[in-house]
Chains A and B, each alone.
Chain A
Amino acid sequence: MYGKGIAALSAATVVTLVGAFALVFFWAPNDADQGFVQKIFYLHVPMAIVALCGFVAGGIFAIQHLRTRDAVYDLKSYVAIHLSLILAIGVLVTGSIWAKAAWGHWWLWDEPTLVSFLIVFLLYATYQPLRFSIEDRERQARYASVFAITAGAFVPLNFLAVRLAEAYTHPRVLSATGGAMPGDMRLTFLVTIVGMALLFVTLWRFEMAAKHTRARVSALRRRLDGDADNPVLRRSAAPTI
């Protein structure tokens, strides 16, 4: 059921992303101050926004899991957080490269957005070890949901605290004034955000479909072997359905 429409979605993702990066390289003007290097902005910022939204989405799925106790929501939350973690590594790497190019340092502590992102990343990096160290599957799902809700609420509060604490060297991309970007840059930026969000949704759907299929295959295989009643209990961080 997660495979339905996935081909069209993938096509839309590819078209949007290719279009977005065509805009980035051939249409959007070079930054007057930083030159060509500034183009990494169109990769770094959309990834960061999508990753944070993915973390929050993981928290929302976790709320639904605790409400309904349906293991599917745990799986949804797990996949969202898992993908966001991968994106988050990309954000830290591209952010570091950009910081080196623009400010001359690989890492800047007086840079609230990068620092708060690192803290969020470190927090979510404990999600998988937490799951892995609980053997009982049902308890693993419940505890992971409690973690996902707490951490999801932590994301905005952490950004608030770090931003208050630091100087303002990081550009405010989504400020009330629209970040003072010229029109063509802003349009390119919005297209890259849409492309990155589509990429996230597509990967999420693929992963959900793959996990579902794998669960069904192993259930069928167990039935073929005649031991449907005692499922194989392997230790794993991934939820089972």
Chain B
Amino acid sequence: MRVAAAILRKELRLELRTFESIPGMALFSVTTFVVFHFGLNRATVAGDLAAGILVVTILFAGMLGLNRLYVADEEQGGFDGFLLAPVDRTWLFVAKAVALFGYLTVLEIVAVPAFAFLLLGPGIGQALPGLIVVLALVNAGFAIIAALVGALAVRTRARDLVGPLIALPLLVPVVIGAAEALEPLLLEGGAAVLPVRWLLVLGLYDLVFGLLAIAVFDPLLED
């Protein structure tokens, strides 16, 4: 646990000093909303369309984070230093997943108000509690997959390609769950009840892949 906390501190300090991931992700999400506005030629969106745009934007902005997650460790010897330390390797995964969860949360603090301001038809206030629950589950699922796939992809020759290619199909259940859960929250006539079934699907996904990723992460860091 102390190990994970130490790595997490290092991650956050690195991000605060270089601002490599979060500003890029946030800017990307706002730009994507503008692109959606012109691509769909719609002034406002609601319901399933709004849920889809929000989920897809967060997903693609998150891909930028995935691609950058391990690059510093690979290029500047972070992996070697970590392997020399007598600690359990799984903590690196935990720290990276928690760090990415944090990045995504900051991204959403920018992206959701921007979405409400630029595109969303109905007001966001009523939907906000449900939205936070769904996005927290989405962030957890994304962070788990990205921390695993990022480690898998970073030491291949085409890392920026391999990472998203593997991560996107793996994240389809998250997209389905999030889009279905968010749709009733963003309806034109005001937020309806949060569908518990889809929260359960998202929670189950996070649980299964969290355990699975912890189980298979070790062999990725051996040399």
Contacts and interface: CB of A to CB of B under 8 A. Distances in A.
Interface in A91-138: 119-120, 122-123, 126, 129-130, 133-136, 138
A206 B153 CA distance: 32
B205 A157 contact: yes
A97 to B, nearest CB: 24
A126 B162 contact: yes
Contacts of A153: 208-209, 212
B87 to A, nearest CB: 20
Contacts of A161: 172-173, 176-177, 201, 205
A27 B86 CA distance: 67
Nearest to A153: B212
A136 B223 CA distance: 11
B208 A150 contact: no
B204 to A, nearest CB: 8
Given A134-B155, A142-B222, A119 B216 contact: no
A123 B166 CA distance: 6
Contact of B216 (A66, A120, A136, A162): A66
B166 A130 contact: yes
Interface string A139-158: 10011011101110110011
A134 B162 CA distance: 11
B136 interface: no
Q: Is the interface of A mostly helix, strand, loop or mixed?
A: helix
Nearest to B200: A164
A165 interface: yes
Most B CB contacts (10 A, CB to CB) among A120, A134, A160 go to A134
B216 A157 contact: no
A66 B219 contact: yes
B1 interface: no
Contacts of A154: 169-170
B208 A164 contact: no
Interface string B161-199: 110011011101100110010000000000000000100
A157 B173 contact: yes
B71 interface: no
B219 A126 contact: no
Contacts of B219: 66, 142-143, 145-146
B152 A147 contact: yes
Contact of B152 (A130, A135, A157, A160): A130
B172 A119 contact: yes
A165 B162 CA distance: 28
B17 interface: no
A146 B216 contact: yes
B158 interface: yes
Interface of B: 148, 152-153, 155-158, 161-162, 165-166, 168-170, 172-173, 176-177, 180, 197, 201, 204-205, 208-209, 212-213, 215-217, 219-220, 222-223
21 contacts: A66-B216, A122-B168, A123-B170, A126-B169, A129-B158, A129-B161, A139-B155, A142-B222, A143-B156, A146-B148, A146-B216, A147-B152, A150-B209, A150-B213, A153-B208, A157-B173, A157-B208, A158-B173, A162-B176, A164-B197, A164-B201
